[in-house]
Structure 1
Amino acid sequence: MLINGLPGDSISASDRGLAYGDGIYRTLEARHGTPLLWPWQWQRLAADCAALRLPCPDEALLLREIASVAANLERAVVKIVLTRGTGQRGYAMPSECSPTRIVSASAWGGYPPERAQQGIVARWCDTRLAIQPCLAGIKHLNRLENVLARSEWTDPAIAEGLMLDMDGTVVEGTMSNLFIVQNGVLITPPLDRCGVSGAMRACVIDTAANLGLSVREARLSPDEVLAADEVFVCNSLAGIWPLRQLAARQWQPGALTRRLQQLV
């Protein structure tokens, strides 16, 4: 683990990331020290920094640190955490800050391959996502809604839970973004009011567009998800998981989902 470029495993108790969740993070896969999906990961990290007025680290510096922490791991999970650093009490952003940058890596644990091959069972979550456009899309350090939602079940047969916003529209999974296919059109919920804009989501959208496929954002009701021809969730570590069952609805992995799985 590197903290501001130096080996370490602790930060100040007055760090604003700890005190207020004042920061962002990205989680990604690296192979032999090279991060996957990096163009999309970097794009999202830089956008999140700009949205929170958080100084963004140099891209080349981050790549060197990722290579360093993952050097001895053939396949690794890398986490980048950026906070506003230490500060005095109070919510107001300090006029000047010294950000804390944490880059760590752990051995790849993986997921059961049948989740991608055969599809997953998902459930609806009771925990709702608050509507807050100022934070929409940002992978910030306040993820308690996701923690509560993921803690709603312990059944290992259920791989993911889908979350609604306060208006009852479907937004995302607890750890993933959601896509449906309806009449050949790829549809994903907009993330302008809540939710996390994942790097894999961006990759899927760009890949589909490059294939000439019709892609659009639209607010989706639970009934529209259940009526879809295909449904899948995705994130940077899991890739694409087709939904096999949600409530009483069952699917077989569809042709468009399979095509995207081969390309991203």
Structure 2
Amino acid sequence: MRGAAAGEGWPLDDRGAAYGDGLFETVLVRDGRPRLWDEHLARLARGCHVLGLPLPAEHRLAAPLAEAPSGLAVLKLMLTRGSGGRGYRAPATPAPRLRWQLAPFTPDVARWQEGVRVRHCALRLGIQPRLAGLKHLNRLENVLARAEWDDDEVAEGLLCDSDGRLVEATAMNLFWRRAGALETPRMDRCGVAGTLREALIERLEVREVDILPEALEAAEAVWLGNSVQGVWPVTRLDDAAGRPLLRWRLSASHRAFQAEAHRLLGYPLPDLN
């Protein structure tokens, strides 16, 4: 197992670079302490099991934290199968590479407080249950979906799978309140099961459901969230052409959901009065 900062070069034959054969985690770090660390380790372990990679020892994964600056930072861990094999055929005994990068981070407080405008994406996610929920390195679908707009007023894009079911945003998970119940899309076909999502499902009894996008018409409140940015309330949803479809007013229910999420991340509760 080899570990190094991301500044060191990758060999051209690394299977992560060549095929997306690997996993990554992005961890919020506050004064050298990682948030939702257990959830990140659990997701990485699930990914290693599916891909058939040896899981690095926790002390190797945590070693970069010794170099974390004071305040907020994001630690990106990247684990690949390493080099070797012939074409798509993996080596019988992989020699994984572990790379990492630490970068200072400042969250977008205005999006916590004012909410965000989002849109539907035209791209549809392919259904692959074996990889569902994992944060693997092959993220071309997300790259293509994010390329669908360049309007800075649009914070995120919502993605459906090839059967038309809501799944996630390009880099965040999706939540809503409907008929008084908290819900989020099921992640058994595709998509990334975020660590903040996992923690909120456990703490707030968020239901995992299969729905079509039209079901958001009945939503009383909608949010996007991940373990780095926190939770953004959604105030406007556009179609894939940029035409407005739905709007929501910020309310006390937005505050309550954000409060639980932000406690987990050490973020302050936005003032939504």
> What's the TM-score once normalised by structure 2's chain length?
0.89
Which residue does the alignment assign to 1:47?
46
Which residue does the alignment assign to 2:222?
231
Name the CA distance, whole Å, in 1 between partners of 2:41 and 2:252.
30
Task: Identify which of 123, 126, 132 aligns with 2:128.
Answer: 132
Counterpart check, 1:83 vs 2:87: no
Tell me: CA distance 1:43–1:142, structure 2 relative to 1, closer, same or farther (3 Å).
same
Name the CA distance, whole Å, in 1 between partners of 2:135 and 2:200.
18
How far did residue 161 of structure 1 move?
0.3
Structure 2 residue identity aligned to 1:224:
A
Alignment of 1:58-73 (within 5 A): 58-63=57-62, 65-70=63-68, 72-73=69-70
Which residue does the alignment assign to 2:98?
101
How far did residue 233 of structure 1 move?
0.9
How far did residue 150 of structure 1 move?
0.5
Which residue does the alignment assign to 2:34?
35
Check whether the contact 1:244–1:252 (CA below 8 A) recurs between aligned residues: yes
Check whether the contact 1:22–1:140 (CA below 8 A) recurs between aligned residues: yes
How far did residue 261 of structure 1 move?
1.3
How far did residue 66 of structure 1 move?
2.9
Check whether the contact 1:136–1:194 (CA below 8 A) recurs between aligned residues: yes
Structure 2 residue identity aligned to 1:193:
R
Moved more, 232-241 or 5-14: 5-14
Counterpart check, 1:172 vs 2:171: no
How far did residue 192 of structure 1 move?
0.6
Provide, for residues 201-238 of structure 1, a one-character-per-residue CA deviation record: whole Å limited to 9, x for no partner: 111112213xxxxx311111111023211111111111
Counterpart check, 1:260 vs 2:257: yes
Tell me: CA distance 1:88–1:152, structure 2 relative to 1, closer, same or farther (3 Å).
same
Task: Identify which of 192, 204, 217 aligns with 1:208.
Answer: 204
Check whether the contact 1:179–1:186 (CA below 8 A) recurs between aligned residues: yes
Alignment of 1:172-191 (within 5 A): 172-191=168-187
Check whether the contact 1:40–1:203 (CA below 8 A) recurs between aligned residues: yes
How far did residue 6 of structure 1 move?
6.7
How far did residue 8 of structure 1 move?
5.0
Instruction: Say what the alpha-carbon RMSD is for the aligned residues.
Output: 1.5
Tell me: CA distance 1:182–1:92, structure 2 relative to 1, closer, same or farther (3 Å).
same
When the two structures are aligned, how many residues end up with a matched partner?
Answer: 254
Moved more, 33-42 or 154-163: 33-42
Check whether the contact 2:222–2:234 (CA below 8 A) recurs between aligned residues: yes
Provide, for residues 11-64 of structure 1, a one-character-per-residue CA deviation record: whole Å limited to 9, x for no partner: 21111001111000011111121111112111111111111111111112212x
> What's the TM-score once normalised by structure 1's chain length?
0.91
Counterpart check, 1:142 vs 2:138: yes
Tell me: CA distance 1:251–1:98, structure 2 relative to 1, closer, same or farther (3 Å).
same
- Structure 1 vs Structure 2: percent identity of aligned residues? 43
Structure 1 stretches (4+) deviating beyond 2 angstroms? 5-8, 253-257
How far did residue 80 of structure 1 move?
0.4
Which residue does the alignment assign to 2:208?
217
Name the CA distance, whole Å, in 2 between partners of 1:250 and 1:171.
20
How far did residue 255 of structure 1 move?
3.1
Name the CA distance, whole Å, in 1 between partners of 2:28 and 2:176.
25
Check whether the contact 2:5–2:100 (CA below 8 A) recurs between aligned residues: no
Check whether the contact 2:178–2:220 (CA below 8 A) recurs between aligned residues: yes
Long gaps (5+) in structure 2: 239-244, 262-273
Structure 2 residue identity aligned to 1:32:
D
Check whether the contact 1:4–1:100 (CA below 8 A) recurs between aligned residues: yes
Name the CA distance, whole Å, in 2 between partners of 1:15 and 1:4.
14
Name the CA distance, whole Å, in 2 between partners of 1:232 and 1:32.
27
